[in-house]
């Protein structure tokens, strides 16, 4: 099939590339000329494991092309996948301006029957609004569909190629058949629903995962008061197949471009319908509080932060990505700087993106080891695997004081203290 992907960011680029790999002919467009220029020469604008090789392979086989011109590729496409951003407004509501801009342009340039599929995460009712906008601009036949994307940054290609499920929301057989044909080669359960249900499944899924994280973080906070170990509590809970192990890792809370905005957006949608979603309100509050409870551990240990040197490991919102959107590291570092500390930061991939936000407020180090030199404390914010490889002897010999405050429970506290390193983590 011929597919036009609108928006070549994380979701658009990964989806487009994977669909090309699965045998479709893909045109990826974006309004960001710089991004398209770099993609045309095979350069990926962000870090995502496995993606670069796949993009280059599919450029070479001419299965994927990148352009800024929507009209030219639109009239060749059987399906259009909308993958533009849906950032939060101040109120928490999803800002749909990029969706509507894209859809208006699609409507103005349609020349034949096409299915317009939304992959972006959008509030319930958006597909119907898309339909109206296209109808205003185009008299011919078309359909809309909702196939929300569930990939995770850091394992996006793997997730896309091996999904747990595919949700296909449509209004009629023709759109359903074409949407099914698009996903034919992906072997997983395919759930067919109406448009509204498909849109809701995505929000409900992210809100539930965020709830699990806030839940285990509250358990961790209680564990600290009663002398229990949250890691073992989570293990004991996770062995129950009704609960499951995933997303029960206590820490400093969730960040990133999806959970914070999607939880707030669902809370907002519910409120607008007259239903106050109390559980989600608490999920957000607990998540916001968790980073400051962690910060208090740093303050309690160091007392005064003025002129203290703090090594920070991990800047991205999670490992294996360079994405720092709503990364908790940024909040923690800004507060450390405000309190007078000198921050030496290291991240395997996210230094450039962090520098765009924090500028020269902090020192950027080339290695994790280098960040440790002369530090009064090491603060771990993102659990990159490479941090596990750093030798404990190095930690001790390089730091002014061998003190680790770990927001991701990466290490075994007993092992570290037997080597003379003070180790403070979350919920144990």
Ligand X SMILES: NC(=O)c1ccc[n+]([C@@H]2O[C@H](COP(=O)([O-])OP(=O)(O)OC[C@H]3O[C@@H](n4cnc5c(N)ncnc54)[C@H](O)[C@@H]3O)[C@@H](O)[C@H]2O)c1
Catalytic residues: 258
**Residues near ligand X (CB under 6 A), total:** 27
Among 3, 4, 5, 7, binds ligand X (CB under 6 A): 7
* DSSP-derived secondary structure letter, 341: P
Q: Considering the rule CB under 6 A, would residue 29 count as an interface residue with ligand X?
A: yes
Q: Considering the rule CB under 6 A, would residue 9 count as an interface residue with ligand X?
A: yes
The residues near 283 (Cβ < 8 Å, ≥ 6 apart) are 207, 210, 211, 214, 263
- Pick the closer one to ligand X by CB: 29 or 195: 29
* DSSP-derived secondary structure letter, 26: E
Q: Considering the rule CB under 6 A, would residue 50 count as an interface residue with ligand X?
A: no
* Contact criterion met (CB below 8 Å) for 368 and 386: yes
Residues paired with residue 6 on neighbouring β-strands, in sequence order: 29, 82
Q: Which of residues 79-118 bind ligand X (CB under 6 A)?
A: 83-86, 98, 101-102
Starting at the earlier edge strand, list the strands of the sheet with 79-82: 64-67, 25-29, 2-6, 79-82, 115-118, 143-146, 166-169, 190-193
Q: Considering the rule CB under 6 A, would residue 200 count as an interface residue with ligand X?
A: no
Q: At closest approach, how far in Å is the CB of 284 from ligand X?
A: 17
The one segment of 144-152, 331-339, 372-380, 405-413 that binds ligand X by CB under 6 A: 144-152
Q: Is the dihedral of CA 184, 186, 189, 194 positive or negative?
A: negative
β-pairing, 377-380 vs 363-364, is unpaired
Buried b (16+ CB within 10 A) or exposed e, 69-89: ebeebbeebbbbbbbbbbebe
Q: At closest approach, how far in Å is the CB of 305 from ligand X?
A: 34
The one segment of 78-86, 137-145, 228-236, 330-338 that binds ligand X by CB under 6 A: 78-86
- Pick the closer one to ligand X by CB: 2 or 67: 67
Token reading at 259? 């959970």
Q: Considering the rule CB under 6 A, would residue 123 count as an interface residue with ligand X?
A: no
Q: Which of residues 210-269 bind ligand X (CB under 6 A)?
A: 257-258
292: nearest Cα among 341, 344, 335, 249: 335
Q: Considering the rule CB under 6 A, would residue 320 count as an interface residue with ligand X?
A: no
Closest residue to bound ligand X by CB: 9
* DSSP-derived secondary structure letter, 360: G
Q: Which of residues 153-182 bind ligand X (CB under 6 A)?
A: 153
Binding stretches for ligand X (CB under 6 A): 6-12, 29-32, 35, 83-86, 98, 101-102, 120-121, 149, 151-153, 257-258
């Amino acid at each position: 099939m011929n597919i036009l992907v609108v928006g070549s960011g994380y979701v658009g680029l990964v989806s487009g590339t994977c669909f090309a790999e699965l045998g479709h002919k893909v045109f990826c467009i974006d309004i960001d000329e710089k991004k398209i220029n770099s993609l045309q020469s095979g350069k990926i604008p962000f870090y995502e494991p496995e993606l670069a090789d796949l993009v280059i392979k599919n450029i070479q086989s001419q299965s994927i092309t990148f352009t800024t011109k929507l009209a030219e590729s639109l009239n060749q496409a059987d399906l259009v996948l909308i993958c533009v951003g849906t950032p939060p407004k101040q109120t928490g509501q999803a800002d749909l301006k990029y969706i509507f801009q894209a859809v208006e342009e699609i409507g103005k340039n349609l020349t034949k029957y096409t299915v317009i599929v939304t992959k972006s995460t959008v509030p319930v009712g958006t597909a119907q609004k898309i339909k109206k906008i296209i109808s205003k601009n185009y008299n011919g036949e078309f359909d809309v569909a909702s196939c929300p994307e569930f990939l995770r940054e850091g394992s996006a290609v793997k997730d896309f190629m091996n999904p747990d499920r595919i949700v296909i929301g449509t209004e009629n057989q023709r759109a359903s058949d074409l949407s099914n044909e698009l996903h034919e080669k992906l072997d997983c359960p395919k759930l067919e629903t109406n448009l509204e249900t498909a849109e809701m499944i995505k929000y409900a899924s992210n809100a539930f995962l965020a709830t699990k994280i806030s839940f285990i973080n509250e358990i961790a906070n209680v564990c600290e008061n009663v002398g229990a170990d949250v890691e073992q509590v989570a293990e004991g809970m996770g062995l129950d197949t009704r609960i499951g192990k995933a997303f029960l890792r206590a820490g400093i809370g969730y960040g990133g471009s999806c959970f914070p905005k999607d939880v707030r957006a669902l809370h907002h949608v519910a409120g607008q319908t007259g239903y106050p979603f109390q559980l989600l309100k608490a999920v957000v509050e607990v998540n916001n509080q968790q980073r400051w409870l962690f910060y208090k551990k740093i303050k309690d240990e160091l007392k005064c932060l003025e002129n203290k040197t703090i090594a920070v490991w991990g800047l991205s919102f999670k490992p294996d990505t360079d994405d720092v959107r709503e990364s908790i590291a940024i909040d923690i570092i800004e507060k450390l700087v405000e309190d007078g500390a000198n921050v030496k930061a290291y991240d395997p991939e996210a230094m450039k993106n962090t520098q765009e936000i924090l500028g020269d407020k902090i020192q950027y180090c080339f290695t994790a080891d280098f960040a440790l030199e002369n530090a009064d404390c090491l603060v771990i914010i993102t659990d990159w695997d490479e941090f596990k490889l750093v030798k404990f002897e190095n930690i001790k010999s390089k730091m002014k004081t061998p003190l680790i405050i770990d927001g991701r429970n990466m290490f075994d506290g007993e092992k570290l203290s037997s080597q003379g390193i003070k180790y403070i983590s979350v919920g144990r």
